[in-house]
Homo-oligomer: A and B are copies of this chain.
Amino acid sequence: MNAAIFEGKGKIGVKEVADPVIQKPDDAIVRITHTCICGSDLWYYRGLTPFPEGGRIGHEPMGVVEAVGPEVTRAKVGDVVVMPFFVQDGTCPECLAGMSAACRNRMGWGGEGNDGGQGEKVRVPFANGTLFPVPDGASLDEHMMVALLPLTDVLCTGHHAAVCAEVGKGSTVAVVGDGAVGLCAVAASKRLGASRIFLVSTHEDRAAIGKQFGATDIIAARGDDAVRAIKEATDGLGVDGALECVGTPESWETAFGAVRAGGNIGAVGVPHGVAPIPVERFFWKNIGVKGGPAPAAHYIPELMPDILSGKLDVSAIFTKTVSLADIAEGYKAMDERKEIKVLVKP
């Protein structure tokens, strides 16, 4: 079988690797039908975070179960499954508390350890905690398959931003970040009942998708100007929830500026260079700060039915599709910000 390989900064190759086999009784083997390239894949691609050269890459696999170990009860051969961007056991106290992202057996995909999500097949450890089968009888045309794929990461991550910011019926929301996660955060906020959703975006194409997903106001500005526009539109109050979907010092500033006293920042952008936060900064305004890696395994059972029923569809985030053989082209397009998110079909 073939799989995508990290070959050094800016270099993605595709090589033949050994087919995966069941190694433990709770392993499964999945043939990947759809996967994608994540904004976080760009960190090693750009040489910003270390990654083993020659390592398998990708962490958003979806496909069809080909084989299961004797202890796998969660899914059966032939099931269409999505997998969160982490492997988790589903049984430890953290998983049972709903925080699968802190699972005691958490493992990443790819790297030197496990199979990567960008390849023809993966071995799935802890399959009973990691496989999320689509129910039998669901109508799975190609569009629906693509609509389910964001469950592996970005849709759950956008939803997590909204949950952490306590978005609910009637909430006012500002989404900071117009990448795939930010756009999913818009859709998640709408689904949770937000009545007004500001999307901070200076890119017309991304803003258009944001509007399609439920943004009521596009703030085509940055930094202080964006904050001023949001404040003016809310009687000087600010929003109930600011969804930080970037992770830079600038995006955190915008989130702090936009949120009202007593409101919440839901932060899912992996922090890069964000300065420690003085306690007084949030304390005196009663601003809540929460976020981190999304517990996707906790959210998929809630979100999948809405996708299957057609209520929730963020497939428009995929602006380009490549074959596995052409995956390097997908990385390049995302690195150059020509595409929002690239779908890969092995």
Contact = CB atoms under 8 A, between A and B. Distances in A.
Interface of A: 93-94, 97-99, 101-102, 164, 234-237, 240, 252, 260-264, 267, 270-271, 274-280, 282-293, 295
A290 B286 contact: yes
Contacts of A288: 164, 288-290
Nearest to A275: B276
Given A93-B237, A97-B240, A280-B271, A291 B286 contact: yes
A284 B97 CA distance: 16
B293 A284 contact: yes
Contacts of A102: 261-262, 285-286
A280 to B, nearest CB: 6
A99 B261 contact: yes
13 contacts: A94-B237, A94-B260, A97-B237, A99-B286, A101-B286, A102-B286, A164-B288, A270-B283, A277-B277, A286-B291, A286-B295, A288-B288, A288-B289
Given A97-B261, A282-B292, 18 more contacts: A94-B261, A97-B260, A97-B263, A99-B261, A102-B262, A252-B279, A262-B295, A275-B276, A276-B276, A276-B277, A282-B290, A283-B292, A285-B292, A286-B291, A287-B290, A287-B292, A288-B289, A290-B290
A295 to B, nearest CB: 7
A292 to B, nearest CB: 4
Nearest to A291: B283
B264 A290 contact: yes
Smallest CB-CB A-B distances: 6 pairs = A99-B262, A288-B290, A102-B261, A276-B276, A286-B292, A93-B237
A164 to B, nearest CB: 7
